[in-house]
Amino acid sequence: MTIDLRFAAAKHAVWIGALAMGIAPGGCAPGARVSRTIPATPGITGAAAEIGNRSTDFGTGWKFALVNASDVRDTTGAHQRAYEPSYDSGAWRSVDVPHDWSIELDPTPGPGTDSGTGFLQGGLGWYRKTFTLPRSLANKKVSVEFDGIYMESSVYVNGQLAASHPYGYTGFRVDLTSKVHTDGVTPNVLAVRVQNHLPSSRWYSGSGIYRRVHLVVTDPVHVARHGVFVTTPDLARNLASGFAVVRVRTSAVNERGGKAPVSIVSTVEDGAGRTIATHRSEPADLGAEGRTDSVDLKIERPTLWSFDEPYLYTLRTQLVAGGKVVDTEVTRFGVRWATFSPTEGFSLNGAHTKLRGVNLHHDLGALGAAVHREAIVRQMRIMKSMGVNALRTSHNPPSPEMLSVCEEMGIVMMVEAFDTWHTPKVDYDYGRYFDAHSDADIAEMVHAAKNSPAVVLWSIGNEIPDSTSMEIGVPIAKRLIADVKAIDTSRPVVIGSNYYHRVPEPGSATDRVAQMLDGVGVNYNSAAAVDGLHARYPNTFFFESESSSETSTRGVYENPEQLNTGENQTPGKRGTSSYDNNLARWTMSAEYGLKKDRDRKFLRRAIPVVGHRLHRRADAVRRISGEGLVLRGRRHGGLCQGCLSHLQEPMDA
């Protein structure tokens, strides 16, 4: 099918983070996409031919069967043994992944579907891939890595259940080493069972292996998964002396058995590929328990990552054992520092700025949830052309492609973990698995994005009912904050919440949560509420994580003096006014939010609820294309680039 993309802990009064785009007291955070290289390994069939890379694209040559679109049961039993290598999948459909089967279905009103998910079904599906591996991999570590499967997945390798993963928005790796044949002849079968039991989401989720898949081959002596972390500590002070310190922490492991002396070589390259700093450690024993080394590299007169010039450096990490380079990992990062002050607002590289953000769900409109980098680039170019400089990944961890696009375009990010905690919002959402899996999933979120210069905030959740409970929510918030800070202390930890419309009672659950967090994102707050919160919590920074939720139709302007004019029902003229006067019941107008933000230096940003939608949320007009600043690539009339500068009247309440 051809797709035409044209249509289709301790509280800090000031948080400072230096790094590829981090934040924090005394530290920084890193750069971004990671790739690894090993010597060329010919002979893998059923995989893309980038064998020179340690991580090889594994997206082609899959077979797919949609077992049941309306239920997660195999009612005929025809696919009960689809995990077995001998199972005949010859009649299944050939697909490449990323793949979203829900977008291929017809809208179907009924059990489990509603307007919020575009009336598109989910159900049960199977994927299978057959491949062979050459003898040269017999002594290598082999694994497969999924960037994301929605939702509940089980992975089988040659008939053995190798992994189960219930969260649809975090990546995971499956070790294949002891389960695959590496004789160059015997086929291996990778089978993935995916179920999306609806309703599982408040917005369109898609279904299937909707993000990329990678075959990862390493030497037994290798850099651990997510084993490189780059920060730039004390950047503001060091820049005054003309340099930056790049701190590299590398975790490595030796799975050969026993110990062996291994050196770690860390090399920084500039944007043109020139080596500008390097360090080689003395050989030290490395065993199965692994080890973590830290080294500081110095960059003279660094070019900073910024909104207008998102300059990126490359760190090349090599492991040397027995006189040979046995593993190489490449990490992209940036040099920058960000400051979040409860009184002065947000600054990047010392320059105060307002963050003009959007909330974006992960789907790509008419293309569905399957990741297409070109479509993400197009989407974010439109956003940036409208003045957007910040993105909230509402309400889940983003794809690696979205991270890299924001890094390249100079868009800062609030990366969010969950839309629900222990208590579900819909019948079959992640709340069923939260208690058992949330520690691992939030850790995966942080590890996957910790080197990105674009990421400036970690969010532990959105509009969480549990956060109002002393018994349930307060312990969960404490645990999730600790999970994040166990990995990265260079960025603030926040929440997006609709439970701060008034100042909390002292000692209440919302009061306790606010005091544990570094910052609080408020959804649809009045100016008076924001001022009250600012006075009550002088050491906590506040920002608008959602500022307005409304509907409008491009080119339709009606009844500017009226509020909530509703939809024009005249045949052929159906639309809602773009005079910023059709609001959801819980929200204020975009103009109100923008003025409120403009007149308060301590507020960091105003974020309209959705930046780009083709699958509607429940509060949009009654058809599949709903709320958003952009529909079909066209801007709504309600907001425009530079709109902040045109709002001159003060906002007091």
Active site residue 463: yes
Q: Which two tokens mark 108? A: 């179907």
- Catalytic hit among 329, 463, 591, 627: 463
Give the angle 426-427-430 at the CA atoms, nearest 5°. Answer: 75
Question: Half-sphere exposure (CA, 13 Å, Cβ side) for 479?
Answer: 17
Paired sense of beta strands 243-254 and 221-231, if any? antiparallel
Q: Taking the CB of residue 547, how many other CB atoms lie within 10 A of it?
A: 27
Coil/strand/helix, residue 296: strand
Q: Which residues pair with 346 in a beta bridge?
A: 340
Give yes or no for a contact between 414 and 393, defined as CB atoms under 8 angstroms apart: yes
Integer CA distances (angstroms), 406 to 307, 376, 401, 460, 632, in order: 10, 10, 9, 21, 21
Active site residue 408: no
Paired sense of beta strands 62-68 and 15-19, if any? unpaired
Question: Half-sphere exposure (CA, 13 Å, Cβ side) for 303?
Answer: 14
- Residue partners of 542: CB distance under 8 A and separation at least 6: 342, 519, 520, 521, 522, 530, 533, 534, 602, 603, 604
Closest CA to 114 of 627, 607, 619: 619
- Catalytic hit among 407, 546, 550, 591: 546
Integer CA distances (angstroms), 445 to 155, 580, 595, in order: 21, 36, 34
Q: Which two tokens mark 73? A: 């049961």
To which H or E segment does residue 263 belong?
strand 260-269
Ramachandran sector of residue 477 (left: φ over 0; alpha: ψ -120 to 50; beta: rest): alpha
List active site positions: 463, 546
